[in-house]
Structure 1
Amino acid sequence: MAAQDPHSMIDYLIGVDGGGTGTRVRIARAGGQEIAQGQSGPSGLAHGIAHAWQAVGDAVAKAFATAGIEHPPLASMAIGLGLAGVHNKEWAAQFEAANPGYAALRLETDGFTTLFGAHQGRPGAIVAIGTGSVAQVLLPSGEQREVGGWGFPAGDEASGGWIGLRAINHIEQVIDGRKSTSAFARELIEACGGHRDAIQSWLAKASQTTYASLAPIVVAHAASDTTADAILREAGREVALMARALDQSGTLPLALCGGLGNVLRAYLPAELLERSVAPPGRRSQRRAAHDRTIHSEGAPAMTTSINGNILTPEGWVRGELRFHQRIDAIQAFAADPAVNSDDYIIPGFVDLHVHGAGGRDIMQGGDAPQVIAKTHAKHGTTSMLATTMTAPPEDIVAALKAVGEACARPVPGSARILGVHLEGPYINEGKLGAQPNYAKSATLEEVNELGALAPMRLITVAPELEGHLELVRQLADAGIRVQIGHTTGSYDDGVAALEHGAAGFTHLFNAMNGLHHREPGMVGAALAHAQYAELIPDLLHVHPGAIKVALRAIPHLYCVTDSTAATGMPDGEYMLGRQVVHKCLGGVRLPDGTLAGSTLTMDQALRNLVSLGLDLADASRRVSTYAADYLGETQIGRIAPGCFADLVVLDRNLNIKAVYIEGEACDLNDA
């Protein structure tokens, strides 16, 4: 029998871009349809072959998890990689030999893939300037040439590592007394440890990425410090030398790529600027009068720039973030926020369980969704799901009509309403919690009728009710996320629901059977099997110890507020659906003492997570990225070029200083 071509068994195509700062992965089906993206840490070969493969594997795994696809066998994938360090043929051979099992592998330099992408395969030149640097050209004859790329510290001129090395040379002379000190020198010294002995230790451990972390300081001081300006001018001259060596005719389009491309553009001679182009996939990087830029559809928009410690999918960087409606560019390098005093810039919060705020409840209809969205925006929530209560059919219809209107006509300065979280009436009357007793079993026909009123993004169901397991499968097939909640179901009921397509759990631990070593209950099903679950971290609904258990067990545990009309309001009586609730001492309860939602806001949720020992990056993912991923929203919950400019700026005490939704600053008065 003839042997089967292994390429005929390929189901997925993996594209990888890896350098000294981070790794980006895109996954497509064999037919070319892109299905997922993922990010991880650096995969440049200078970090080690095993480290590079680990970073690639982590990014691929995150991409499949984001898409909700169980990780397929590597033998079903073909992978193409553009990695830093491939110039070293020995490293490249070692990397290829360590292939963990991909059916097909193509390895190129990151410069090659940048060149191909920048000019879409047509003749042109690039100078890629990031942690390292390299310049390449594709000539009209088809010949490809490369300049630079010799590696750090011998080469990589104009790169972040090269700039950082010169910054270190400067402070060595300042500390010795050979040069005068300055604000620029003092910040560099502080970033490297603050005194001579600490700097010696810093130097002993420093990698190219570490040196590159100093480049944002040089950029920040270039306008006021002659030494910083001189370093960047020298870098600009090095870029010009590389560009001219590539294309002596001076006729081919030139793209400056990488994190320092925009910065060094200002230091290029006029003849190079004349033929410089912006790489496709990024907005034009040329500034017109009054710093205006252009939307992709051609409408003018003002570009905003902010500086600080920026949390990207690859980790913390320090520098400048430029945006209008979407993020245009991040001009920054890897940094540890602990060694500077800059603000934090993190993704806007994404809350998938919002009943109310500002004295209004979603079930009231009318303008309640707009009031609620505006209140939460002041606390950093940039996207949310309007969440209903178990109620008579006419009340649910009225609420959904109002939410549908709010989705269609968003109000500036308000959180983006992504759609509806239908929390009831398809729940078990034995676990109502604070819901009134209008619980019932669901039918697909009824769900479809409600879905015609507003975008139905998430539904909470009790899977043990008759007909609900099949309904879970039907809803999941229709692209609606189904969560398990308000349930008396057992561990086995939970496992069955997950197998039928349920994707998560509603306010984990609350309104479900708890964990016992002989009856693990619904909580046990979540801890044993869930990839995603929501949790209310107000420290009232769930004990801190139980939160830590969930954090260890559920990889993408994310946080919600379950907020009520009492959020942002003084103590007193408020409506929760048809029920009166009482706010007192930060909690919201029914007259019998039952917890009835919360007054939590997402900024406080973030601070609570940090108080439990999470680092800020992990806490941020759990109030933004994971919730966005859960809904399949790839343009929110992360700071990356092309994503919506939904941003939260925090001071060093994690208090909100600014909130941007699609690039517009929100009014924080009375927040």
Structure 2
Amino acid sequence: MLSKGVFLSYIKGEFTILIKNGNVITPYGICNSSILTKKGKITRVSKDISTPSDEEVIDAKGKMVFPGFIDLHIHGGHGIDICDQNADLKTFCEYQLKHGTTSLLLTTRTMETNKIESTLLRLKESIDYLSRFNKINILGIHLEGPFLSQKYKGAQNPENLQAPSKEILKKWMQISGNNMRMITLAPELENAEEVIKFLKQNGIVVSAGHSDATYDQMEEAINWGVSHVTHFFNGMRGFHHREPGILGASLLSDKVTTEIILDTIHSHPMAAKLLVKNKKAEGVALITDSVRATGMADGEYVTENRMLCVKDGIVRNSEGNLAGSTLTMNEAVKNVIELLQLPYPEVAQMASLTPATILGIDHEKGSIEVGKDADIVILNSDFEVEYSICEGEISYKRSESILKK
């Protein structure tokens, strides 16, 4: 269960919103319909809804109405890295709302232990503030590293990688105010069994990633409690017919969900389509893994004294390894629809309901259904976000935005 204060702490909007004439993406299909929200909840989804005098009316004719996007894996954007000591997280969240993300996990990276601890403390102190003033759902923290494989470190700093430790995690959980919701680790490392079982007992999603795990090791880790795989295909042992590895074990297990960076750089679109065909929409979450350079010009960017080079929107470190993406969630949705040609309800599931299910909050979020939180995104035909609505509050309106790309 999520701790008190993780969701919006301000009083939910007392006013009412009526979204008229939109192409509403529901779990059951697309319908030309209207949505009524009251006090932060969806109260009606119907063709004909009368207009009381106290409503704010949005005409969504010709536009697509999605559930608000949920990003489980995001490091930064708009020139901001969430691990920076003086990170402008308010502007970072406003930028995410501009691209349809109404809920997210603030994702850390491998750093020195003292820096991880100071970051966790700062994020703990920021979560309540961000939720109150940005009308966005900060669902908690995703700890990516330092319990990762040297062989598949990717752009993670190899000097600070270490074996999993239950004692360290106990301390970090306390420092974070019990806001850690997901942890990425390599399950083949020493002490992994004890740590995975401990995390599962404490309700934290354990995701395998940056890992050299064999098929047998991953199968064993699934039995311990691993239930997710970080940026599938990337940062892990590849598939081989004599050693299927982490990929093979995950594809064959009904206990494991996955996430994918669908920017056409991290994985070929048909590799993504193969994943979705095997795991179905309920087994694949769209993520961005976006970094500071998202929405910025090509050039060089410094992250924790390490240089990242961005060319044609592709981010690499000095060793030439991919170092996150410049993807946004609305772009990911566009790519799935245009390149994978999946039905809209399946795409909405991958962008919203599957992430909500992974975190155990699908009874509240992830789909446009009566009784759920009014987290709604309205997209135009170019997949630009016209409105982001978060728990019944208009959090972003394109015509009023002062943010650049």
The two structures have a TM-score, normalised by structure 2, of 0.87
Q: Which one of 68, 92, 97 corresponds to residue 348 of structure 1?
A: 68
Letter in 2 for 1:632: G
TM-superposed CA distance for 1:456, in Å, is 0.6
Contact 2:27 2:345 in 1 (8 A): no
Higher relative contact order (CA 8 A, sep 6+): 2
TM-superposed CA distance for 1:298, in Å, is 10
CA distance in 2, matches of 1:299, 1:545: 42
Letter in 2 for 1:326: K
**Higher percent of residues as helix:** 1
Q: Which residue of 1 aligns with 2:345?
A: 617
Q: Which residue of 1 aligns with 2:268?
A: 543
CA distance in 1, matches of 2:12, 2:271: 50
Letter in 1 for 2:264: L
Contact 1:374 1:414 in 2 (8 A): no
TM-superposed CA distance for 1:356, in Å, is 0.5
CA distance in 2, matches of 1:576, 1:411: 28
Contact 1:370 1:414 in 2 (8 A): no
Q: Which residue of 2 aligns with 1:370?
A: 90
CA distance in 1, matches of 2:198, 2:359: 17
TM-superposed CA distance for 1:314, in Å, is 2.9
Letter in 1 for 2:73: H
CA distance in 2, matches of 1:559, 1:419: 18
Aligned residue for 1:512, secondary structure, equals coil
CA distance in 2, matches of 1:590, 1:300: 44
CA distance in 2, matches of 1:449, 1:667: 41
**Aligned alpha-carbon RMSD (Å):** 2.1
Q: Which residue of 1 aligns with 2:126?
A: 406
Q: Residues 299 and 474 from structure 1, CA distance in 2 versus in 1: closer, same or farther, beyond 3 angstroms? A: closer
Q: Which residue of 1 aligns with 2:19?
A: 306
CA distance in 2, matches of 1:494, 1:372: 35
Q: Which one of 434, 439, 443 corresponds to residue 155 of structure 2?
A: 434
CA distance in 2, matches of 1:370, 1:298: 19
CA distance in 2, matches of 1:522, 1:423: 17
CA distance in 2, matches of 1:408, 1:461: 27
Range with greater deviation from structure 2 (451-460 or 600-609): 451-460
TM-superposed CA distance for 1:485, in Å, is 0.4
CA distance in 1, matches of 2:306, 2:136: 26
CA distance in 2, matches of 1:494, 1:444: 20
Q: Which one of 244, 262, 284 corresponds to residue 557 of structure 1?
A: 284
Q: Which one of 136, 142, 167 corresponds to residue 415 of structure 1?
A: 136
Q: Residues 476 and 341 from structure 1, CA distance in 2 versus in 1: closer, same or farther, beyond 3 angstroms? A: same
TM-superposed CA distance for 1:509, in Å, is 0.6
- Cα deviation per residue 1:288-308 (whole Å; 9 max; x = unaligned)? xxxxxxxxx998821111111
TM-superposed CA distance for 1:601, in Å, is 0.2
Range with greater deviation from structure 2 (648-657 or 362-371): 362-371
Q: Which residue of 1 aligns with 2:367?
A: 638
- Cα deviation per residue 1:485-537 (whole Å; 9 max; x = unaligned)? 01111111111111111111000111101111111111111222154101110
Q: Which residue of 1 aligns with 2:56?
A: none
Q: Residues 448 and 379 from structure 1, CA distance in 2 versus in 1: closer, same or farther, beyond 3 angstroms? A: same
The 5-angstrom pairing of residues 487-502 of structure 1 reads 487-502=211-226
The 5-angstrom pairing of residues 139-158 of structure 1 reads none
Q: Which one of 346, 355, 359 corresponds to residue 627 of structure 1?
A: 355
In the alignment of these two chains, the number of paired residues is 370
Aligned residue for 2:296, secondary structure, equals coil
TM-superposed CA distance for 1:623, in Å, is 1.0
CA distance in 2, matches of 1:303, 1:650: 20
Q: Residues 447 and 314 from structure 1, CA distance in 2 versus in 1: closer, same or farther, beyond 3 angstroms? A: same
Unmatched segments (≥5 aa) in structure 1: 1-34, 36-296, 334-339
Unmatched segments (≥5 aa) in structure 2: 2-9, 49-59
TM-superposed CA distance for 1:361, in Å, is 0.8
- Cα deviation per residue 1:550-608 (whole Å; 9 max; x = unaligned)? 11111311111000000111112223344221111011111232110000000000000
Letter in 1 for 2:168: E
Match status 1:572 vs 2:299: yes
TM-superposed CA distance for 1:365, in Å, is 3.3
CA distance in 2, matches of 1:589, 1:472: 31
Deviant stretches of 4+, over 4 Å: 297-300
Range with greater deviation from structure 2 (555-564 or 529-538): 529-538
CA distance in 1, matches of 2:288, 2:250: 19
CA distance in 1, matches of 2:140, 2:88: 14
Q: Computing the radius of gyration over CA atoms, which structure comes out larger, 1 or 2?
A: 1
Q: Which residue of 2 aligns with 1:379?
A: 99
Q: Which residue of 2 aligns with 1:475?
A: 199
Match status 1:332 vs 2:52: no
Match status 1:647 vs 2:376: yes
CA distance in 2, matches of 1:491, 1:657: 45
CA distance in 1, matches of 2:12, 2:212: 54
CA distance in 2, matches of 1:667, 1:476: 39
Q: Which one of 213, 227, 230 corresponds to residue 503 of structure 1?
A: 227
Q: Which residue of 2 aligns with 1:394?
A: 114
CA distance in 2, matches of 1:448, 1:371: 31
Identity of aligned residues (%): 35
CA distance in 2, matches of 1:653, 1:368: 29
Letter in 1 for 2:164: A
- Cα deviation per residue 1:347-386 (whole Å; 9 max; x = unaligned)? 0100000111111112113344333222111100000011
Letter in 1 for 2:355: A
Letter in 2 for 1:418: L
CA distance in 2, matches of 1:645, 1:537: 26
